[in-house]
Amino acid sequence: MILKLGFIFILFFSCNAINSQKCPAVNYHLDTIITEKNKPLLPFSYRQLIIPTAGIFYGIAGLKIPSLRLLNKEIREEVNEHIDDKFSVDDFMQYAPSVSAIGLELIGIKGKNSIKERSLVLLTSYILMITVVTSLKNTTNVERPDKTGHKSFPSGHTANAFVGAELLWQEYREQSIWYGIAGYAIACGTGAFRVINNRHWLTDVSMGAGIGILSTKLAYWMYPSLNKVLFHCKPGSNTLRLEPLINTNQYGLCLHMGF
C-alpha cells in the first residue's frame, strides 16, 4: 500500500512539471488551472450514492444477518467443490483500471480532466479507501474463508479495483462508455476471483466495491477544496507550496512561501 501511494504521489507531482522549463513557468501553469477549475470536477447528486451505498449496506448486513452469513458459506462450499485451481490474476487485475485511467492520456486518448487533476483525485481516493479498509479489517476481525487470518472484511483488492473503475468511468465515459464498462468488468472480475480463490466472502467483496466507488466519488467532490489548499497561494496570505523544478540539467523542488 505504501509503495502504491508513493508511486501515485510521484506521478502527481511529475505531471505538474510537464512542458515546464523553470519554476515560474510551473507557477503560471498551476495558477491557470486553479483559475479555470474552481468548479467541482463532478457535480454532487444523491443518485450517485445509490450503488455504493447498496454495496456497503449489503456488506454490513452480512456481518449481522444469519441468512447472509449462511449464503457466504454456501458459496464457499460450491466454489471448493467445483473449482480446484486457484488463480493469482486478481493480484494484478486490481491495478488495471487505475493504470488505464492515467495511461490512456499518455498514449494520446484525452480524458475529461487533466492528468494533474485525476492524479490528485486518485491519490485522494486511495487515501480514503485505504483508511476505511484498514480500519474495518482491524476492528471487525472476520476470518477468511481459507482460515489464513482474521482480516477478511472488507476486500482490499476489490476496493482498489473499483476505485480505478469509477475513475475510468468518470474520465472516459464521454469518449466512449466502453472504457468505463471495461473498467467495471475488470473490477467485478477481481472481486469474483477473490471469492474463487477462497480469500474473501461475498459480503467482503460487496463492501469493498462500495467503498472503492464511494472513495472516488468523494475525491471528485473534495477536489476544489484540496486543490486550493495544496496549490493556491494568494498574495499576502501565509501559505507554503512545494512545486517541481525542471531545468536542462537539473531536477528539484521549489519551495514558495507567501506572507
Encode pLDDT of 176-223 as tens digits. Answer: 999 999 999 999 999 999 999 999 999 999 999 999 999 999 999 998
**pTM exceeds 0.85, yes or no:** no
241 located within any domain: no
Q: What is the mean pLDDT of residues 81-103?
A: 87
Please report the pLDDT score of residue 85 as a whole number: 72
257 located within any domain: no
Going from the C-alpha of 97 to that of each of 42, 64, 252, the distances in angstroms are 19, 32, 30
Domain carrying residue 106: 2-232
238 located within any domain: no
Q: What is the mean pLDDT of residues 47-71?
A: 94
Q: Under a CB-based contact definition with an 8 Å cutoff, are residues 158 and 190 in contact?
A: yes
248 located within any domain: no
Whole-number Å distance between alpha carbons of 155 and 205? 5
Q: What is the mean pLDDT of residues 3-15?
A: 43
Find the CATH number of the domain harbouring 77: 1.20.144
The better pLDDT of the pair 6, 102 is held by 102
DSSP string for residues in the chain: -HHHHHHHHHHHHHHHTTT--SHHHHHHHHHHHHHHT-S-SS---GGGGHHHHHHHHHHHHHHH-HHHHHHHHHHHHHHHHH------THHHHTTHHHHHHHHHHHTT---SS-HHHHHHHHHHHHHHHHHHHHHHHHHH-PPPTTSS-S--SS-HHHHHHHHHHHHHHHHHTTT-HHHHHHHHHHHHHHHHHHHHTTS--HHHHHHHHHHHHHHHHHHHHHHHHHHHHHH---TTS-EEEEEEEE-SS-EEEEEEEE-
Going from the C-alpha of 258 to that of each of 149, 152, 214, 233, 234, the distances in angstroms are 50, 47, 35, 7, 7
Per DSSP, 50 falls in state: H
User: Does 34 have pLDDT greater than 70?
Assistant: no
Cα 146 from chain centre: 27
Domain count, the chain: 1
242 located within any domain: no
Q: Is 250 exposed, middle or buried (0-12, 13-18, 19+ CB in 10 A)?
A: exposed
What percent of the chain clears pLDDT 90, i.e. is strictly above it?
54
User: Does 47 have pLDDT greater than 60?
Assistant: yes
